[in-house]
């Protein structure tokens, strides 16, 4: 019975991570009209920031807030530094 509950819990966690990724990917494409294939790398970067915060003794909720801010900042920097210059030149994706 405990193996079944562990499998269900793992499945729910995995599905929630995939749902967050798909909503973020779709939202970014809908807002910027740019297909950002680096979105997975931004998510991994944010997860790594949260992991580092947690291993250094920072509470989980503060680590999550810092990871969200770091991922958001990285997305903004990617958009303004990489994607916007191509859009200004008229490149289509």
Per-residue pLDDT of the chain (93 residues; tens, 9 = 90+): 788 888 998 999 999 989 988 898 888 888 877 777 888 889 999 999 999 999 999 999 999 999 999 999 998 898 888 877 877 777 655
The pTM of the full predicted model, rounded to 2 decimals, is: 0.73
Residue bearing tokens 């979105």: 39
C-beta separation of 55 from 79 below 8 A: no
Q: Report the distance separating Cα 46 and Cα 67, nearest Å.
A: 5
Model pLDDT, residue 91:
63
Q: Report the distance separating Cα 61 and Cα 87, nearest Å.
A: 37
Model pLDDT, residue 57:
94
């Amino acid at each position: 019975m405990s193996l079944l509950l562990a499998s269900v819990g793992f499945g729910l966690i995995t599905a929630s991570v995939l749902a967050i990724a798909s909503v973020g990917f779709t939202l970014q494409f809908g807002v910027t009209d740019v297909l950002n294939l680096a979105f997975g790398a931004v998510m991994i970067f944010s997860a790594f920031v949260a992991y580092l915060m947690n291993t250094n003794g920072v509470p989980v909720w503060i680590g999550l807030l810092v990871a969200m801010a770091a991922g958001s900042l990285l997305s903004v920097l990617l958009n303004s530094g990489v994607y916007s210059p191509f859009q200004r030149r008229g490149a289509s994706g």
